[in-house]
Amino acid sequence: MLIKNNHDEMVKLLTPAQQARLTEELKRYQRLMQNYVIQASPPLEQEIRHLGNSIVTLAEELAKTERQFLKESLNHSINLFLLAIITLSLFGIVMGRVLSQLVVRPLRRLEENMEQIAAGRFKKLQIKCQEQEIRSLERAFNHMLAELETRRRHLLQSEKLASLGTLLSGVAHELNNPLSNISSSCQILLEELDEADMDYFRELLTQIDDQTLRAQRIVYALLEFSRHKDFKKERLQLSDLVQETLRFVRGQIPAGVTVNVEVPEKLVILVDKQRMQQVLLNLLKNAVQAVGSSGKISLRAKASKADDDCTPTVDIEISDTGPGIPAELLPKIFDPFFTTKEVGQGSGLGLSIAHEIIEEHDGEIRANSHPNQGTTFLIRLPAGTRKEGKDG
């Protein structure tokens, strides 16, 4: 009965010879016990005891074999478990890379583009991804960028038009001088007409012509500034650009404010004239407002080289003796709509637009300021060397 109930387990643990031996000894043990019940005798008892020891020894071997089998089964299970862990880990790594290709990498690219947009660089998104959700997000984002670019251009034009109010008073002052000279010369001509001194008349007419050309240049510069143009770089003498811009703001400069200009005549920059004039105008207006009724404004420029690759550059420095900017506000001055002026005295776009224009020229602008020590704006632009193309 014992053999029948445990036959399957015994087959796993014993060799065929051991199985035959155990079966034979158990049957023999059964017969001896039956005989012992019928007629007990010392020799039979001795034989039963000897056979029992043999069966016990075989049972111990069976138990040892079973323990070894259990140990091997446990080791096998552990190996299978470890193999499953390794397989799942490899599967997780492969799936992670697949997800990275399909989802994570496009999202990271999107994050990088958003950081660029936050820094003011509006660049169209181009994410290589087949996922419909990512493609839809890309289209929506590019549509938003197009709208932002349109509104940015409108803001730039609005700021430019707002500056015209300041320019008109300066232009009126500049136009008044040549018009007064023309009027005086015409009155003299009318008074001296009967005497007919041709040489003197020729001199007066030359003055009238010169003053007319002067007024024409002023009006032309104003029209050029107000007209919308596409971005286009050209080589310009910085000194001419500075003097032309100063004419726009001269009427706004109080009598107690001194303006010092130190710009080498041969210093050439590669810029979009209209946009660069907007930068200089915004910075000069800020300087005039900062110094108030008395003070000093300085505009200096020099040839230099970039720190990283020794590329020729032009450094422009505009400083004033105003009250300065508090240290906690200095990092915010180039943010759109940030202003320390009272309501109605500024849009908060002047420095933001200046910063954007300088970056558009592959340049840089920064400010140094300390309370009660004035403010200095530093601009670094690529020099207009002869090796560079006209359009940049």
- CATH number for the domain spanning 378: value is 3.30.565.10
pLDDT in the model for residue 242: 93
In a shared domain, residues 236 and 379: yes
Contact by Cβ (8 Å): 356, 363:
no
Number of domains in the chain: 2
pLDDT in the model for residue 269: 92
Contact by Cβ (8 Å): 51, 32:
yes
pLDDT in the model for residue 386: 47
- pLDDT at position 307 over 70: no
pLDDT in the model for residue 297: 94
**List of long-range contacts for 50-58, beta carbons under 8 Å, 24+ apart:** 51/25, 54/25, 55/22, 55/25, 55/26, 55/29, 58/18, 58/21, 58/22, 58/25
CA angle in degrees (0–180, nearest 5) for 260-263-267: 170
Distance CA 170, CA 218 (A): 10
- Could you read off the pLDDT of 177-229 as tens digits, one per residue? 777 777 877 877 777 766 667 777 777 788 788 778 777 776 766 666 666 66
SS3 99: helix
The domain boundary, picked from 88, 119, 150, lies at: 119
| pLDDT averaged over every residue in the chain | 77
Q: Is residue 187 part of a domain?
A: no
The domain boundary, picked from 119, 144, 168, lies at: 119
In a shared domain, residues 105 and 236: no
In a shared domain, residues 258 and 380: yes
Q: Is residue 88 part of a domain?
A: yes
In a shared domain, residues 238 and 111: no
In a shared domain, residues 105 and 240: no
Residue of higher predicted confidence among 256 and 149: 256
Contacts of 329 (CB under 8 A, 6+ apart): 340
Q: Please give the span between the terminal C-alpha atoms of the chain, in angstroms, as a whole number.
A: 102
Distances (CA, A) of 321 to 163, 180, 257, 291, 369: 23, 34, 10, 6, 10
Which of 323, 255, 246, 322 minimizes the C-alpha distance to 277? Answer: 246
In a shared domain, residues 239 and 373: yes
- pLDDT at position 263 over 90: yes
Q: Is residue 188 part of a domain?
A: no
Contact by Cβ (8 Å): 271, 233:
yes
Residue 304's domain spans which residues?
230-392
The domain boundary, picked from 71, 91, 119, lies at: 119
Q: Is residue 125 part of a domain?
A: no
Q: Is residue 84 part of a domain?
A: yes
Torsion, Cα 285 289 292 297, to 10 degrees, reads: -40
pLDDT confidence band for 158 (50 / 70 / 90): low
Q: Is residue 271 part of a domain?
A: yes
In a shared domain, residues 255 and 377: yes
Contact by Cβ (8 Å): 120, 359:
yes
Share of the chain above pLDDT 90, in %: 17
pLDDT confidence band for 241 (50 / 70 / 90): very high
Q: Looking at this protein, which amino acid is placed at residue 208?
A: I
Contacts of 33 (CB under 8 A, 6+ apart): 48
Q: Is residue 275 part of a domain?
A: yes
In a shared domain, residues 246 and 379: yes
In a shared domain, residues 112 and 237: no
Which of 337, 318, 332 minimizes the C-alpha distance to 279? Answer: 318
Q: Is residue 366 part of a domain?
A: yes
Share of the chain above pLDDT 70, in %: 73
Tell me which range, 29-33, 83-87, 326-330, is most confidently predicted by mean pLDDT.
83-87
Torsion, Cα 141 143 148 153, to 10 degrees, reads: 150
Residue of higher predicted confidence among 160 and 92: 92
